[in-house]
Structure 1
Amino acid sequence: MTLVNFRDPAALADPEGRWIRPGVLHRSAQPYPADDASIVEQLNAAGIRTIIDLRGEIEAEDTDWAQSLAAGIEVVAARVQPTDRRLEAAMKDMTTDEDLGAFYVLMAESAPEAVKLAVEAATRPGGVLVHCAAGKDRTGWLTALLLDLLGVPAEEIVADYARTTAALPQIWANLAERNRAALNDHAAGTFVVPRPLLEAPAGAMVAFLDLVQARYGGTEGLLAHCGVDAATVEAFRARAAATTAEVTA
């Protein structure tokens, strides 16, 4: 068993090593059904020493990362709740890829403490893995912000986000099995998942980056709004930028 949608954005977004050092940042979906020896081996092979778990409290199980924790890999719970009143309203009105991008901004704004904790965790030595449930939405916009801090061009950030499309069939199958009871409750009601949330459309990430620029003057402005100080931003750049020394082992 291995993590679904697992990748190092540097491998494809920056194969020439112009902006980000390989091995410092990885992304994936949540472990399914939980981690095991093969996933621990996968993480160790990638040099991952910290896992940033962006899932909300109702999504995470204590056993999800039990074997990784036992192997000495630290898990930082930076909880971005999947819904609240504003997010639910935004989902009901969501019809376009641009709406999904605006939804991502709203998610970041709704969880400033989690964003701050996640960026701080990304400054730690060794490889860092960012994940949520699907490894698409919360993982997508946080990864985008981190890549933007390193100067990765917007078109490469968008392309990295869209690469999740190939993994979506397996992601949705795993989520359906894991959350079967909750899905049955939804089926009994009237909630319909908006089409953009079921995809990883490039237009959503374009809209997200444009909105962050328009509303906050860029990534650093949004992170400052969430309480991330300049020293933390610089610590991440010092660790992850392509011009720095080797990742601390």
Structure 2
Amino acid sequence: MSVYPIRRLRLQHAFNVRDLGGYETRDGSYTRWNVLYRADSLSGLDDEEWNILKAAGIRTIIDLRSKSEAQEQPEQVPEPIRYYHCPLQEEQISMGDIEASALAAFTQSLEEGYRLMVKNNGSLIVAALRTLIRGLSQGAVLFHCTAGKDRTGTLAALLLTCLGVSEEDITADYQISYTLNHRGINRMMEKMPGMEHMFPMLKSDPETMTSLLNYIRELNLNDYLLHNGLTSEELEQLKKHCLTQR
């Protein structure tokens, strides 16, 4: 396993903002620092914190939250940063069986929930990736959901797999979410007696990511992305922007 520092941007109103740089790939390249960031919700950031993101070179924000989440907790994104809403899951009740099965799966098993997210939302995932790739030509890109763990963790796993990062490092990156928020989660659970069954959903256990990566491998990620509309040229652009030989 490759060992790297946790490149966390310490903000008062967002706990899980971090850089995806420094991971070695299969061909000996490395993911660039200060290019890709993952995060939790940015709706509570103040002007000083937005200035920190601007100073980090972030010029594109991709919001993976649902339409209702984005409306209930909007983000006051300042110029020159551009904001794009790219939900990773449909929110329409009329989606019926898919939505019901996804919700039930998340309640019982994060592993199955992540797999369903990828299986059922290929076009939405490609839309988010396409927006990200285009944003990279303008500067660093930050993508986020609410806690920065599930939807963000899934997109990060897909991205890092595309770039050739090892499954071990992808899993270790996923685990950082709980490391950064375990105190808050424990305090929340203390205030919610009788809800202990929810605790596994709030963690970022390695087995959960291992299961998703197994599924991604079975899919053949390149074929999956191409089938859902991403082009070979866009995949090459992603690698060009995000990889370096050091």
Pairwise CA RMSD: 3.0
TM-score for both structures, normalised by structure 1: 0.77
Question: Per the alignment, in what secondary structure is the counterpart of residue 10 of structure 1?
Answer: coil
* Unaligned segments of structure 2, at least 5 residues: 1-11, 92-98
Kindly indicate whether structure 1 or structure 2 has the higher relative contact order, using CA contacts under 8 Å at least 6 residues apart.
1
- Unaligned runs of 5+ residues in structure 1 are 95-99, 177-183, 245-249
The residue identity in structure 2 corresponding to 1:229 is T
Report how far residue 237 of structure 1 moved: 0.9
Aligned residues between the structures: 221
Q: Do the aligned residues in 1 keep the contact of 2:88 with 2:128 (CA within 8 Å)?
A: no
Query: What fraction of aligned residue pairs are identical, expressed as a percent?
Result: 30
Q: TM-score, normalised by structure 2?
A: 0.78
Note closer, same or farther for the CA distance 1:74–1:86 as it changes in structure 2 (3 Å cut).
Answer: same
1:133–1:193 Cα change, 3 Å: farther
Instruction: Measure, in 2, the Cα distance between the counterparts of 1:3 and 1:191.
Output: 25
Residue number in structure 2 paired with 1:199: 203
Instruction: Return the offset for 1:236.
Output: 0.7
8 Å CA contact retained: 2:19, 2:33: yes
For residue 41 of structure 1, what is the aligned residue in structure 2? 51
2:226 counterpart residue number: 224
User: Do the aligned partners of residues 192 and 172 (structure 1) sit closer, same or farther apart at CA in structure 2, a change above 3 Å counting?
Assistant: closer
Amino acid at match of 1:8: D
Q: Cα distance, 1:230 vs. partner? A: 1.7
Following superposition of structure 1 onto structure 2, how do residues 90-239 of structure 1 map, counting pairs within 5 Å?
90-94=105-109, 100-123=110-133, 124=135, 125=137, 126-169=139-182, 172=185, 194-214=198-218, 216-217=219-220, 219-239=221-241
CA-to-aligned-CA distance 1:128-151 (integer Å, 9 cap, x gap):
101001000110010111111111
Quick one: distance in 1 between partners of 2:196 and 2:62?
29
CA distance in 2, matches of 1:37, 1:85: 39
State the Cα deviation string for residues 193-235 of structure 1 (Å, max 9, x = none): 6443110001111110111111x12x22332343222222111
Letter in 2 for 1:211: Y
